[in-house]
Chain A
Amino acid sequence: MDRHEYSALELREGIARRDFTAREVCETVFTRIRAWDPKFKIFLASDEQGAYSAATEVDRKLAAGESAGPLAGLPLALKDNLCTSGFPTTCASRILEGWRPPYNATVVERVKAAGAVLVGKVNMDEFAMGSSCENSAFFPTRNPWNPDCVAGGSSGGSAAAVAADLVPLALGSDTGGSIRQPASFCGVVGLKPTYGRVSRFGLVAFASSLDQIGPLARNVEDAALLLSVIAGHDQRDATSTDLPVPDYLLRLKEGVKGLKIGLPREFISAGIHPEIKTALDTAQKVFADAGVELIEVALPHAEYCLAAYYLVATAEASSNLARYDGVQYGQRVSGDNLLEMYAATRATGFGAEVKRRIMLGTYALSAGYYEAYYKKALQVRTLIQRDFEQAMTKCDLILTPTSPTTAFSLGEKTKDPLTMYLSDVFTTSANLAGLPGVSIPGGFSSEGLPIGLQLIGKAYDEETLLRTAYAFQSRTDWHTRRPAMEEAK
């Protein structure tokens, strides 16, 4: 096995045993990036200098017998909406081009302190708005399984970086499925933690009541390892919860006998690609063999998830993105007066999808429409939360496909935003309810594209969620398949 195929835990062991150094791991990563990034367009900015100096520090500590942290020497890619001190953070938007935050996001601080080697910032849909990475202001990221297909989004860069074996670990953010859907499209593991589990401080906000940062990795163990490092209360985020964080690796392999998995009939019935339906059926057998009881549950308001999500998310986004006005930082386009400066800056700086959502959200919050749209969406959100509470009294987890389709072709859905929004039909419910969800590799289509399965757990019970995902992974080999990438011509 080549070193780039090592999982994070394998790399960690190798570095700890001094089979190879963190610097050597770093060299492998940048060799891979140089070879493959021109083809898949994953990185917005790589940081060789920073990475090598972090790796060297890990090697020095280990040589000196010091502890170097649970992520010592492990290469990690960051979605470009996570603030990195002194290093460009663009959210894949022209409006933030050239901006260097004066501070690190809390998660960035935590992974650095744990010894991770940050190799750079990866592509995304502009301000995390999108399901294909095609809304990046710079370039779309391509799917390592088929470069003519999208990587998914919005954390497409994070998923592709892991799938292409450029890095074993990446951080993404998930507002309506932005970690899970690209993980599913790229055949990797992607976890959205419970709302409040991971600090959002330093995550450039899209929709504050839905956003959560989470890990992407090639397998469940690696995702568990990274979650253990980033989870936990942060005084700088008033919505982060002060609950103890378990070591998610500790009980990962304890099995799932006796657990109950609910299948929401509303999600299973319609609109799923037959091959995905087959994968879901197969998965049920796998879980049954592992000793899980499968039951049908009801989520009566599931059909309103997408509508509620796109109202809440756009409303919050319209406010969160108002600060990009050209006054203080980022790009400014001059005008004859203040209003023209605002208009020109925002008209030039934002892409079409971001503008569309700002307008939708502004409309939903406007006098005369607030009651009918935003307020109604909040009420629906409460009903959806109750649906899950009800369902979860009968089961421990819920199983659905992650996405109704596999990765689609580049350009296939850009003309029709509504079809694009439908990609999020299974994932938005977890954000609205604040519950943890994970996408795991669950099969392949006849075209050789990965199929993802989603498990949704109880609030703050990422432990059971990961244990169940691991039980599935240990009985299947989907996660071990690698894309047959061909060199760019």
Chain B
Amino acid sequence: MDKNYEIVIGLEVHVELATDSKIFCHCPTLFGAPPNTQVCPVCLGLPGSLPVLNRQALVLAMRAALALESTLAEHTKFDRKNYFYPDLPKAYQISQFDQPLALGGSVEIAAPAGPKRIAITRVHMEEDAGKLIHQGAGGRLGTAGSSLVDYNRTGVPLIEIVSEPDLRSADEAYAYLIALKEILQHTGISDCNMEEGSLRCDANISVRLRGEQVLGTKAELKNMNSFKHIRSAIEYEARRQIRVLIEGGQVVQESRLWDEEKDMSYPMRSKEEAHDYRYFPEPDLPVITITAEVREAIRQSLPELPQARRQRFRQKYALNEYNAGVLISSRELADFFESMVDCQAPAQAACNWLTVELLGKLNAEGRRITQSPVSPEHLAELVRMIELGKISGKIGKKVFAEMFQSGRAPEDIVAKQGLSQISDPGVMRKMVDEVLAAHPGPTAEYRNGKTQTLGFLVGRVMQASGGQANPKLVNQILKERLG
């Protein structure tokens, strides 16, 4: 990329709220149900049906606004955004236009050059549209043989979070999305699962010569459906615009669709974007008044935000930045960790066992922490058994494998399989004497000053004990017997 140019990015992020039902009706919001099985007259927009706002959606949206340090409006209203498309059954989307739920706010991101604050413009609520399934050759509306509509998503509650054009690289945009995701997950606002479409993002991208104050002409990049693609899509678009400028051309203000298979963007047909949405106040929904009491109650109900939690993890548990970051990457993981610590597991060991052993196994099987067969209590117990010397680290791994398999408690496994560490000095002495008798050569070498043979002898004792001997004690007794 040409270093003379600066990239300017603003993101519009659509987040699905983690409600049980849709924003204006009682239909469930479960992902993956058979087409058109989660619908009713309201979300199908049948004649005569009316929307009624889901209280839970409003509460989650208010939480999101406060978590992003945005200022909640005293009065907020819904508006209709009018346009024709087959996935929009009323031919208008209920959204918010000139009196959004919240204005302002900011998010701190871990930019490559260090922490940076990205300003938020606004947060507003809206309903999702349905999904088109194109059949036959072409695979797009217009070229497909026919298209089917699945209305299950129609009316799923969304918030749109609009950032200021504060982002200066694809990496910063990526970091912003990660920070946003952490906040929204931690506060229980959304699961932010991109694969299920619960976090979607459009990017407004422009480029300008470094030092230039005026913004360049922007293009809006749509349809970026994974964190990975967002990075390459932004980089592609920035490169394209810079090339246009270098070649003496002008960037055209337009919407472009990202094609993740071809790794390129192309302009949407002008008809698809030439919209006058004719926004006007939604007459079916009364204006919402947010009182100071409601606002404060929501604020009180917010959990610790990820940024603060990361700090606390570093200070209270003496974790390094990397480990704290891994734990904070999901609220469930951080909660799992703190549950372990609550069960008296030492923090560093708890972190290691959780992030290396448990996460390693879960990732290998494509499972999430919420699907872990091992409970935080059990994993904490295992860590404690090792710390207290009841079992060795090596045996610990064996026990852990068994725990992962069966979900049983570590004490249970250790007792049943007789895996407890041997720490009885009497038993140990007998074992050591047998090993020394069986290996007169190395024994003599040690006594002659070749102390390196100690390792060999320790190994033999451990082997003889089936791995159950306390390694510290083995060392100690061997030296005592050899000395």
Interface residues of A (CB under 8 A from B): 81-83, 89, 91, 96, 99, 101-103, 105, 200-205, 207-209, 235-239, 315-316, 318-319, 322-323, 325, 327-329, 337-339, 342, 362, 365-367, 370, 374
Contact B283 A316 (CB under 8 A): yes
Contact A323 B52 (CB under 8 A): no
CB distance from B260 to the nearest CB of A (A): 24
Known interface pairs A101-B46, A322-B90, A325-B91; A238-B280 also in contact (CB < 8 Å): no
Q: Which residues of A contact B82 (CB under 8 A)?
A: 318-319, 322, 365
Contact B84 A342 (CB under 8 A): yes
Known interface pairs A200-B50, A338-B142; A319-B284 also in contact (CB < 8 Å): no
Tell yes or no: B86 within 8 A of A by CB.
yes
CB distance from A202 to the nearest CB of B (A): 4
User: Which residue in chain A gives the minimum CB-CB distance to B278?
Assistant: A365
- Given contacts A103-B48, A238-B284, 8 further A-B pairs with CB under 8 A are A101-B46, A102-B46, A208-B283, A236-B52, A318-B278, A319-B92, A319-B280, A338-B86
CB distance from B54 to the nearest CB of A (A): 11
CB distance from B30 to the nearest CB of A (A): 22
Q: Which residues of A contact B49 (CB under 8 A)?
A: 103, 201-202
Contact A238 B285 (CB under 8 A): yes
Tell yes or no: B41 within 8 A of A by CB.
yes
Contact A238 B48 (CB under 8 A): no
Tell yes or no: B216 within 8 A of A by CB.
no
Interface of B is mostly: loop
Contact B89 A328 (CB under 8 A): yes
Contact B52 A235 (CB under 8 A): yes
Contact A322 B52 (CB under 8 A): no
Tell yes or no: B53 within 8 A of A by CB.
yes
Q: Among A81, A83, A238, A325, point to the contact of B51 (Cβ < 8 A).
A: A238
User: Which residue in chain B gives the minimum CB-CB distance to A327?
Assistant: B86
Q: Which residues of B contact A318 (CB under 8 A)?
A: 82, 278
Ordered by A's residue number, 5 sampled pairs between the chains whose C-beta atoms are within 8 Å are A89-B47, A201-B50, A235-B52, A323-B89, A327-B89
Contact B280 A365 (CB under 8 A): yes
Q: Which residues of B contact A235 (CB under 8 A)?
A: 52
Q: Which residues of B contact A103 (CB under 8 A)?
A: 41, 46, 48-49
Tell yes or no: B45 within 8 A of A by CB.
yes
Known interface pairs A238-B284, A365-B280, A366-B278; A322-B92 also in contact (CB < 8 Å): yes
Contact A238 B286 (CB under 8 A): yes
B 88-103 to A, binary, CB cutoff 8 A, 1 in contact else 0: 0111100000000000
Tell yes or no: B297 within 8 A of A by CB.
no
Q: Among B48, B91, B271, point to the contact of A101 (Cβ < 8 A).
A: B48
Contact A319 B48 (CB under 8 A): no
Tell yes or no: B218 within 8 A of A by CB.
no
Known interface pairs A239-B284, A319-B92, A322-B82; A201-B48 also in contact (CB < 8 Å): yes
Contact A204 B89 (CB under 8 A): no
Contact A105 B285 (CB under 8 A): no
Q: Which residues of A contact B53 (CB under 8 A)?
A: 238
C-alpha gap A323/B88 in the complex (Å): 9
Top-6 shortest CB links A-B = A322-B91, A209-B283, A208-B283, A365-B278, A204-B47, A202-B48
C-alpha gap A208/B279 in the complex (Å): 15
Tell yes or no: B80 within 8 A of A by CB.
yes
C-alpha gap A329/B151 in the complex (Å): 14
Q: Among the interface residues B80, B86, B283, which one has the most CB atoms of the partner chain A within 10 A?
A: B283
Q: Which residues of A contact B212 (CB under 8 A)?
A: none
Tell yes or no: B401 within 8 A of A by CB.
no
C-alpha gap A315/B44 in the complex (Å): 22
CB distance from B393 to the nearest CB of A (A): 61
Tell yes or no: B359 within 8 A of A by CB.
no
User: Which residue in chain B gives the minimum CB-CB distance to A237?
Assistant: B50
User: Which residue in chain A gives the minimum CB-CB distance to B87?
Assistant: A327
Q: Which residues of A contact B48 (CB under 8 A)?
A: 81-83, 89, 101, 103, 105, 201-205
C-alpha gap A319/B80 in the complex (Å): 8
Contact A96 B47 (CB under 8 A): yes
CB distance from A429 to the nearest CB of B (A): 18
Contact B47 A91 (CB under 8 A): yes
**In the complex, which residues 271-288 of chain B have their Cβ closer than 8 Å to any Cβ of chain A?**
271, 276, 278-280, 283-286
Contact A239 B84 (CB under 8 A): no
Q: Which residues of A contact B279 (CB under 8 A)?
A: 365
User: Which residue in chain B gives the minimum CB-CB distance to A365?
Assistant: B278
Q: Among B41, B50, B80, point to the contact of A238 (Cβ < 8 A).
A: B50
Tell yes or no: B436 within 8 A of A by CB.
no
Q: Which residues of B contact A203 (CB under 8 A)?
A: 48
Q: Among the interface residues B47, B49, B52, which one has the most CB atoms of the partner chain A within 10 A?
A: B47
C-alpha gap A96/B48 in the complex (Å): 12
Q: Which residues of A contact B45 (CB under 8 A)?
A: 323, 328
CB distance from B39 to the nearest CB of A (A): 10
Q: Which residues of A contact B290 (CB under 8 A)?
A: none
C-alpha gap A103/B25 in the complex (Å): 15
CB distance from A265 to the nearest CB of B (A): 32
CB distance from B278 to the nearest CB of A (A): 4
Contact B47 A315 (CB under 8 A): no
Contact A239 B47 (CB under 8 A): no
B 8-51 to A, binary, CB cutoff 8 A, 1 in contact else 0: 00000000000000000000000000000000010011111111
User: Which residue in chain B gives the minimum CB-CB distance to A208?
Assistant: B283
Q: Which residues of A contact B244 (CB under 8 A)?
A: none
Tell yes or no: B473 within 8 A of A by CB.
no
Q: Among the interface residues B48, B91, B285, which one has the most CB atoms of the partner chain A within 10 A?
A: B48
Contact A101 B280 (CB under 8 A): no
**In the complex, which residues 71-91 of chain B have their Cβ closer than 8 Å to any Cβ of chain A?**
80, 82, 84, 86, 89-91
